[in-house]
Structure 1
């Protein structure tokens, strides 16, 4: 075999039995959630973290919850966008405890075409 650049797999199997050849174990690409799935995650995290929200911000937080939990057909994207931005801002103020909610809100905003 000539020396030089080689790209790809090179396998030499000499002897043995029960050889399987090359087995590539690549993880399946992660499927991006739908907007509805992302919003369900946001709503679930909001319910978990509500007690952590300062009382002065709890009204805005509570107003965003039904908007994000509503059926897609009944809520306009700009309304959801504003609610998600509110939730993301409050989650950011919560620090480490709010990080999962902030990440979920950002993911939902990306699915709405905001950020990225």
Structure 2
């Protein structure tokens, strides 16, 4: 009998697949069990749209004030981004992530002068749920 492990034997590996089909509720006894509340609170869409539009308008204004501090490449990038921002603020969730990310980079690159624009970008991202 030897104290060294046998390296010729291998342990079989098993893989498992886990499928998720949604929430599972197991109720055992109790009274007046009503399950899971999957409803989200109702949000006033008009107020949200107004906040979104106001924040976009503020960001456009701040970008206008920031332009004298931008390099020519940054200025061209802002020119390319403005139509995306102003065309339809409600469509920003689908296509605005990269646009807002670019604006945040530009605002951060110019330092303290760009801080208000960076804050407006962050507010806009928060409104979009990003």
**Structure 2 Cα separation of the partners of residues 46 and 93 of structure 1:** 13
Correspondent of 1:95 among 106, 111, 120: 111
**Structure 2 Cα separation of the partners of residues 48 and 103 of structure 1:** 14
Q: Report the CA distance between 1:56 and its aligned residue.
A: 2.1
Alpha-carbon displacement from aligned partner over 1:32-90 (angstroms, at most 9, x marks no partner): 871111111111111111121111222211111111112235x4523222211111110
Aligned residues: 83
Q: Over aligned residue pairs, what C-alpha RMSD do you find?
A: 2.1
1:46/1:65 contact within 8 Å kept:
no
- Helix, strand or coil at the partner of 1:34: helix
2:56/2:89 contact within 8 Å kept:
no
Correspondent of 2:65 among 39, 45, 48: 48
Larger radius of gyration: 2
Structure 1 runs of 4+ aligned residues shifted over 3 Å read none
Structure 2: 5+ residue stretches without partners: 1-47
Kindly indicate whether residue 99 of structure 2 is the aligned counterpart of residue 57 of structure 1. no
Structure 1: 5+ residue stretches without partners: 1-31
Q: TM-score normalized by structure 1?
A: 0.63
Match of residue 99 from structure 2: 83
Q: TM-score normalized by structure 2?
A: 0.57
- Helix, strand or coil at the partner of 2:129: coil
